[in-house]
Structure 1
């Protein structure tokens, strides 16, 4: 299992490049570097995918808008190979000086930052920009944590929040104080879905949804009768019904009236998405 990625905005000659720590290894987010150098990302991404397919990875993190997004990243040790694959003589004249500067200095600056915590003597403006970038990222993490209920994902986001908060010298809020986590799936809910699978295996068609819909539509009174018929000792009572609303695999969608593909008529049913 991967540790949560660490993002380090690194000032470099008036630009900002992004260093990504993943499992204690340094990677470089490639899109910001390509944009800084004034080149077309689409063509460079194709080049990276072709020449560095074995080493380029996509690392998922929380963007400034609070959404999860993947970043195309190259191991830092492979960055010089990509940089020197660009010929300054084949780009627009106004880009040549910057590209040469990146080729000669960028990998060293990033390596110095990774090993020593500093890439160059930061100006007051660069320090302020870094603080602003970290503050925005911290806010995005807080928003995403407030929205997300998945237990594993919340833990990973909180790890990133702790790293960014510490970098800013701020306290780390407790995980349970931000949003809420889905409750643990109770044993009775697991037993319910195992019973439904048993009925289907025994030739009892209890899913009223179309086969290709990816949905499960169940009629609870009908299930009670089938449970009795097959001597399944599981009560479909108010407690179980409350747990069904929390079901995540399959995921509860809604309850209401639906067209049964078994009886060819409208029935009351509970709809789940079969993941």
Structure 2
């Protein structure tokens, strides 16, 4: 179960009707050494960890060390915020204070209460995870792996309000244009983390206006290797999350004048703290 937590995706796994959490993605997200944390888990939490086959962040299925959810707070509080980079301290404290409650609520209350209206950041994270799952299904021939990945794809698609492709329709030779958008979402996520403003739509409008020359300048400024080639433009026109509307003139909230841009209908009501992500 991919669970959005602020700008991250925490992977919740059911094993024997019990909730477990994939630990390596959390450790890496918090900027702590996975090698050291893996050793700590083996020493302090050996009775409550399991190796479970899931789809990793790179899209490849592999066994991952998972900790029982009820032990997550103990592990989180074993990380001293003052021992990490200053820019990560607030994030670690937020995980310590909120993450276990969010996961328990997600686990206990059912899908309708799990996520009523994902924020813009959560939409991006979920969309990227969905594309990773689609790409794994395209290249995998293993029946068991495909079934497990498709189950995760169904859960992620439902959270985004998207249809779930039939498993038999997804194969190595079946192109999914939206999978080509992952490099764009990755590039925009980097801009967001660096506080770069790139959405020209009015704040809280629920729309996304992307001026490609402006984006290319920001990518160059931030040393991001990316180019809007013909394949990327075709994929953008096929985008369903956010939904592509058209290209044309719109008023820019950044430049204060009319610009020609790509227009998307994005998720509504982003949280103020996530203002740089697809925000005006």
The TM-score with structure 1 as length reference comes to 0.51
Q: 1:76 to 1:64 in 2, by over 3 A?
A: closer
Q: 1:242 maps to what in 2? A: none
Higher-RCO chain (CA-CA 8 Å, sequence separation at least 6) = 2
Among 7, 31, 51, the alignment partner of 2:24 is: 31
Among 75, 78, 82, the alignment partner of 1:85 is: 78
Q: 1:73 and 2:69 equivalent? A: no
Q: 1:129 to 1:76 in 2, by over 3 A?
A: same
Q: 1:49 to 1:127 in 2, by over 3 A?
A: same
- Mapped contact 2:157–2:164 kept (Cα < 8 A): yes
Q: Equivalents in 2 of 1:155, 1:53: separation in Å? A: 29
The alpha-carbon deviation at position 142 of structure 1 amounts to 3.9
Q: 2:41 maps to what in 1? A: 48
Q: 2:134 maps to what in 1? A: 138
Among 4, 8, 21, the alignment partner of 1:10 is: 4
The alpha-carbon deviation at position 56 of structure 1 amounts to 0.8
- Mapped contact 1:26–1:75 kept (Cα < 8 A): yes
Q: 1:123 maps to what in 2? A: 119
The alpha-carbon deviation at position 23 of structure 1 amounts to 3.5
The TM-score with structure 2 as length reference comes to 0.50
The alpha-carbon deviation at position 161 of structure 1 amounts to 4.9
Q: 2:50 maps to what in 1? A: 57
Q: 1:110 and 2:106 equivalent? A: no
5+ unaligned residues in a row in structure 1: which ranges? 1-6, 180-275
Please tell me whether Structure 1 or Structure 2 has the larger radius of gyration of its CA atoms. 1
Q: Equivalents in 1 of 2:164, 2:25: separation in Å? A: 29
The alpha-carbon deviation at position 70 of structure 1 amounts to 1.3
Q: 1:81 to 1:142 in 2, by over 3 A?
A: same
